């Protein structure tokens, strides 16, 4: 989605777009699949720059952090940004940025080079942020058996779960010495 900033006058620029992003391209192994993404929003003129309000809606499939089964989740996230034209560094005057610091809200500011904003990078950053550090298929997921690797949600493998991991045994021996 390319937003022609130089063409925005009194009326906001409004967009609504379906796009697909290859899950592999985000290089997060826990992300298995991304559904079609609905990306919509508007850009208004505001002061020296613009204000962007957008929303992303899609489904993502990630692996459960315990049992490694795929977990499908709906995601909706809002994007709010102030857009300012990137100003070349002044040669020998007061810092141009001083005025920019005096904003009344804490919106993040994105500096734009040129007359157009390509939102794909913005979308990709949001997709990254929306991948949870750790997902669970359910709060009560039993995970994999540490001994035989069986998925304990669907089978009872009969391994002795009180069995101490040999690595802990080794540590204990070290500590006792």
Residues that bind Zn ion (CB under 5 A): 64, 66-67, 137, 141, 145, 147-148, 150, 157, 159
Of the pair 98, 154, the CB lying nearest Zn ion is at 154
Rounded to whole angstroms, what are the CA distances from 131 to 21, 56, 62, 122?
A: 14, 13, 8, 15
Q: How far is the CB of 155 from Zn ion (least distance, A)?
A: 9
Q: How many CB atoms lie within 10 A of CB 37?
A: 19
Q: How far is the CB of 32 from Zn ion (least distance, A)?
A: 13
Instruction: Write down the H helix ranges in 65-177.
Output: 120-129, 166-176
Q: How far is the CB of 26 from Zn ion (least distance, A)?
A: 22
Q: What angle do CA 57, 61, 62 make, to 5 degrees?
A: 120
Rounded Cα gap, residues 139 and 159, in angstroms: 23
Of the pair 113, 160, the CB lying nearest Zn ion is at 160
Of the pair 66, 82, the CB lying nearest Zn ion is at 66
Of the pair 3, 137, the CB lying nearest Zn ion is at 137
Rounded Cα gap, residues 43 and 149, in angstroms: 51
Q: How far is the CB of 126 from Zn ion (least distance, A)?
A: 26
Of the pair 87, 157, the CB lying nearest Zn ion is at 157
Q: How far is the CB of 71 from Zn ion (least distance, A)?
A: 7
Q: Give 130's DSSP letter.
A: T
Q: Give 39's DSSP letter.
A: E
């Amino acid at each position: 989605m390319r937003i022609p900033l130089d063409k925005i006058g009194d009326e906001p620029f409004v967009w609504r777009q379906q796009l697909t992003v290859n899950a592999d391209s985000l290089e997060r192994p826990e992300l298995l699949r991304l559904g079609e993404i609905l990306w919509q929003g508007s850009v208004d003129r505001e002061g020296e720059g613009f204000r962007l309000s957008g929303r992303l809606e899609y489904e993502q499939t990630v692996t459960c952090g315990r049992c490694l089964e795929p977990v499908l989740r709906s995601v909706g996230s809002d994007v709010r940004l102030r857009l300012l034209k990137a100003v070349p560094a002044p040669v020998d005057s007061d810092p141009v940025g001083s005025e920019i610091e005096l904003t009344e809200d804490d919106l993040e500011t994105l500096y734009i080079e040129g007359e157009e904003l390509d939102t794909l990078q913005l979308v990709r950053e949001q997709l990254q942020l929306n991948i949870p550090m750790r997902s669970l298929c359910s709060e009560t997921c039993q995970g994999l058996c540490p001994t035989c690797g069986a998925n304990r949600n669907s089978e009872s493998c009969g391994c002795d779960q009180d069995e101490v991991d040999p690595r802990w045994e080794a540590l204990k021996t070290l500590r006792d010495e």
